[in-house]
Structure 1
Amino acid sequence: MSDALADTPSPVEVDCLIVGAGPVGLFAVFELGLLDIKAHLVDILPKVGGQCAELYPEKPIYDIPGFPSVSGQGLVDNLMQQIEPFGATFHLGQQVDAIEVLGTAEKPLFRVVTDAGTVFMAKTIAIAAGGGSFQPKRPPVPGIEGFEGSSVFYSVRRMDAFRDRDVMIVGGGDSALDWTLSLAPIARSLTLMHRRDEFRAAPHSVEQMRALVAEGKVNLVFGQITGLEGAAPALAGVTCRGLDNQPFTVPCDRLLPFFGLTMKLGPIAGWGLNLHENLIAVDTEKFETSVPGIFAIGDINWYPGKLKLILSGFHEAALFAQKAHRYVYPDKRLTFQYTTSSSSLQKKLGVS
């Protein structure tokens, strides 16, 4: 038993724990819900949608059946509406750190702990984590590791940690602008730096930010980070190089660099599952891993002929749910039904 599994609070009992709240994880909620299986979802991001919402929310997707074109965020919004009748519970901004197998191959049971201290007792697990967990890109600044977790942060878990602080935010996307708008009212001072005077964030957010700059509530500068000042872990300022190649310093004691995200397998690599080139090997009947009761669906899995498409993940979610039902309800016979012809299924969906 790992240290991460010791001295933890009472667990949340769940039928199925879905690791990953991207499109495939969300659709799995729908397929499980049709079978009366309640799902909880854990995702390292602070919002649902996975890559679609974080990396390409406005990018059109053309291969989703029934949608000639749909944006990444539009697909996520539709999926959230589709699963609303099933009351899924989301645990966002958390990463699964450890899994302990307690049950048997015939009757699986898993104790799962996240880095936020949440504990689950799950009958089944579905890993729908895309290519793995999102990890923030670290700025190429010497010695930044010594400030991380104390003065340098890649996400905001508690806004109060930035109250009455001199905050510097670096980036030009939605995360940088959203937190600029949220932290400006509570920070002692807030500086936003981007490498150019063009932003990738939502236009309305950019307008709001520029209004705060005009009111003197946000200091907007352009350039790139070159170094950190202060004795780790206490940050005193950030040295920068401007667009004119001249150096300048921004005094601050909190730094939030939003340089984007990369995908890494992360703790999943240590969960005792058979891997194939950093992906989780599964069968093609039910998409079960080498550990009975743990499934992998979407881009995180591998099998011969695998295509990394969202629509393939939807297919995998439907088949995995059938096997999950046998684990969750071992004494209950499962009869396949079409949603178009079953009155009981339509009732679950709120269709009169």
Structure 2
Amino acid sequence: MSNPLMADVAIIGAGPVGLFAAFECGMLKLTTVLIDALAEVGGQCAALYPEKPIYDIPAHPAIEAATLIENLERQIEPFAPPRLLGRIVTAITGTAGAFTITTDQNDTIAAKTIIIAAGAGAFGPNRPPLDGIAAYEATGAVQYYVKKREAFRNKRIVIAGGGDSAVDWAIALKDIAASIAIVHRRPKFRAAPEMADQLAQAAERGEIDLVIPYQLHALHGASGQLHTVEVADLDGKTRHLEADILLPFFGLAMDLGPIATWGLDLAQHHITVTPSTCETSTRGIFAIGDVATYPGKLKLILQGFAEAAMAAHAIHPIVNPGTALHFEYSTSKGVPA
């Protein structure tokens, strides 16, 4: 790019929180550019689980991840932020009011401020240490993400894990799959209480088999086709669960990538920020969503949305020094032209 792309705010990360940050900045008449390493917007919602229902978005009892992203895209249409997709930010130089951002595709962006909404950074699944698992991964008998629920119709599914993803997908797939068994090493699940209750109720009705306390032990099949998943309890006693597909949900391995070299204060692979503004240790650079941390932080999309609003309001005086911000509710001022 011969001439730098100019913006008041460069938003690094185009997942749901990054998209909403573009809206909040637009409402304050701040220009933005969206930058993301993926080839499409939406982050994990688009790349990993577009059909997963999300239950904690206000005014939506349930909304699929892909639909949430579509709605967020429609919401920012009036502001038409440029998008640099399939790009990794490799360097940031300058200071507040005059940052220069470069990417691995030789893009140059001149931005007065920066919002990092990079989610989990570069992400990949935590793979269970099972012999021969690669052969089953190659055929789709072992999968770490659910993109289309219909692909699991009439399949015998074993889900391993005790967090939100394991519980949510067990509930979401129970009416599609031939059978669902969920394997966890302890009786208590680390999921939202309401979803854990739904899981217990489905188990009582015989819709889901709770295999607890067990953990994965071995895979059995031929030519990449899975026949049974062997599990073992704490005493070494084993069971064989008939299965066509294993879904291990043991979280994502987080790698900040180049972000770790930008000189920001970090805590356990997260960027520390001031809670009231979401500003990092570097003046003019903000972090929101899963990548940001502070006391009391909750890793919820809705909290990331709130952080986007706080960051946008903290950015306004940096971009417009000496100009008072007369805040109005969107219901009274509408969307700026």
Normalised by the length of structure 2, the TM-score is 0.64
SS of the equivalent of 1:26 reads: helix
Amino acid at match of 1:340: T
Partner residue of 1:267?
258
Q: Does structure 1 conserve the Cα–Cα contact (< 8 Å) formed by 2:48 and 2:147?
A: no
Partner residue of 2:191?
none
Residues in 1 aligned to 2:302 and 2:147: alpha-carbon distance in whole angstroms: 28
Residues in 2 aligned to 1:195 and 1:59: alpha-carbon distance in whole angstroms: 18
SS of the equivalent of 2:290 reads: helix
SS of the equivalent of 1:341 reads: helix
Correspondence list, 1:1-352, <5 A: 9-101=2-94, 103=95, 107-134=96-123, 194-196=139-141, 202=148, 242-243=223-224, 262-342=253-333, 345-348=334-337
Amino acid at match of 2:81: A
* Count of residues in Structure 1 that have an aligned counterpart in Structure 2: 237
SS of the equivalent of 1:40 reads: strand
Unaligned 5+ runs, structure 2: 130-134, 153-221, 227-250
Amino acid at match of 1:69: A
Q: Does structure 2 conserve the Cα–Cα contact (< 8 Å) formed by 1:109 and 1:121?
A: yes
Partner residue of 1:160?
none
Normalised by the length of structure 1, the TM-score is 0.61
Amino acid at match of 2:117: A
The alpha carbon displacement at 1:131 in A equals 1.5
Q: State the identity %.
A: 48
Structure 1 residues 78 and 242, CA, compared in 2 at 3 Å: closer, same or farther?
same
Q: Does structure 1 conserve the Cα–Cα contact (< 8 Å) formed by 2:115 and 2:287?
A: yes
The alpha carbon displacement at 1:10 in A equals 3.3
SS of the equivalent of 1:77 reads: helix
Amino acid at match of 1:314: F
Structure 1 residues 171 and 126, CA, compared in 2 at 3 Å: closer, same or farther?
farther
Residues in 1 aligned to 2:113 and 2:6: alpha-carbon distance in whole angstroms: 11
Unaligned 5+ runs, structure 1: 1-7, 141-169, 173-192, 207-240, 246-259
Residues in 1 aligned to 2:324 and 2:30: alpha-carbon distance in whole angstroms: 14
Residues in 1 aligned to 2:56 and 2:14: alpha-carbon distance in whole angstroms: 20
RMSD value over aligned CA atoms? 3.0
